[in-house]
Amino acid sequence: MKTRWDIFCTVIDNFGDIGIAWRLARQLKDEFDQEVCLWVDDLVSFKRLEPRLNTDAVIQQIEGIDIRHWKENLPEIEPARVVIEALACHLPDAYLQKMAAMAVKPVWINLEYLSAEEWVAECHGLTSPHPRLPLTQTFFIPGFGPGTAGLLGSLRQHEELASWRDQPGERARFFSSLGIDSLPDQALTISLFAYDNPAIAGLLDALARLPQPTCLIVPEGKASSRVAAWLGLVGLQSGQRVKRGQLAIHSIPFLDQVHYDRLLWACDLNCVRGEDSFIQAQWAARPMIWQPYVQEDGAHWKKLQAFLGLYQQGLELETANLLAEAWRVWNAGEINREIWREYLGNLPEFTCHAGRWETRIKSWPNLANELVKFALSKIQSPVF
**Annotated catalytic residue: which of 6, 220, 261, 275?**
275
112-141: contacts with ligand TRH (CB under 6 A) = 113
Three-state DSSP at 184 gives: coil
Does the CA dihedral 305-153-88-293 come out positive or negative? positive
Q: Which stretch binds ligand TRH (CB under 6 A): 35-43, 126-134, 206-214, 248-256?
A: 248-256
According to DSSP, the residues that pair with 129 across neighbouring strands are 136
Nearer of residues 143 and 219 to ligand TRH, judged by Cβ: 219
Residue 116 half-sphere exposure toward CB, CA atoms < 13 A: 20
Nearer to ligand TRH among residue 144 and residue 378 (C-beta): 144
Site mask for ligand TRH (CB under 6 A), range 38-57, x = bound: -----------x--------
Sequence length of the chain is 384
Binding part of the chain for ligand TRH, among 7-15, 130-138, 178-186, 316-324 by CB under 6 A, reads 7-15
Number of residues near ligand TRH (by CB under 6 A): 23
User: Rule CB under 6 A: is residue 219 a binding residue for ligand TRH?
Assistant: yes
Point out the catalytic residue in the list 17, 41, 276, 370: 17
Give the residue with the Cβ less far from ligand TRH, 110 or 346.
110
What residue is closest to ligand TRH based on CB?
16
Angle, helix 347-362 to helix 276-283, in steps of 10 degrees: 100
Whole-number Cα distances in Å, 351 to 86, 163, 209, 317 = 33, 17, 21, 16
Residue 15 sits in the site that holds ligand TRH (CB under 6 A): yes
- Residue 275 is a catalytic residue: yes
Active site residue 17: yes
Closer Cβ to ligand TRH, 49 or 200, answer by number: 49
CA–centroid distance for 14 within its chain: 11
Tell me: does residue 62 bind ligand TRH (CB under 6 A): no
Name the residue nearer to ligand TRH (CB basis): 45 or 214. 45
254 binds ligand TRH (CB under 6 A): yes
Q: Residue from 277, 331, 346, 366 that binds ligand TRH (CB under 6 A)?
A: 277
Q: Which is nearer to ligand TRH, 105 or 303 (CB)?
A: 303
Which one, 83 or 89, has the nearer CB to ligand TRH? 89
**C-alpha separations of 245 from 213, 223, 236, 345 in Å:** 9, 21, 18, 19
Q: Which of 274, 285, 331, 340 binds ligand TRH (CB under 6 A)?
A: 274
Element containing residue 249 per DSSP (H, E): strand 247-252
For position 193 contacting ligand TRH by CB under 6 A, the verdict is yes
Is there binding between residue 294 and ligand TRH (CB under 6 A)? no
Our finding on whether 293 is near ligand TRH (CB under 6 A) is yes
Strand order in the sheet with 241-244: 241-244, 247-252, 214-219, 188-192, 269-273, 288-291
H or E, element range at 59: strand 59-62
Residue 276 Cβ vs ligand TRH, minimum distance, rounded to whole Å: 4
Q: Tell which one of 4, 12, 155, 308 touches ligand TRH (CB under 6 A).
A: 12
Alpha-carbon span 231 to 253, nearest angstrom? 19
Instruction: Give the distance from CA 21 to its chain's centroid.
Output: 10
Looking at residue 7, its amino acid is I
What gap in Å lies between CA 325 and CA 328, rounded to an integer?
Answer: 5
Classify the C-alpha dihedral 63-19-35-97 as positive or negative. negative
Residue among 179, 262, 254 at smallest CA distance from 215: 179
SS3 129: strand
The residues of the shown chain that bind ligand TRH, judged by CB under 6 A, are: 12-17, 19, 49, 113, 193, 219, 254-257, 260, 273-278, 293
Catalytic residue numbers read 17, 275
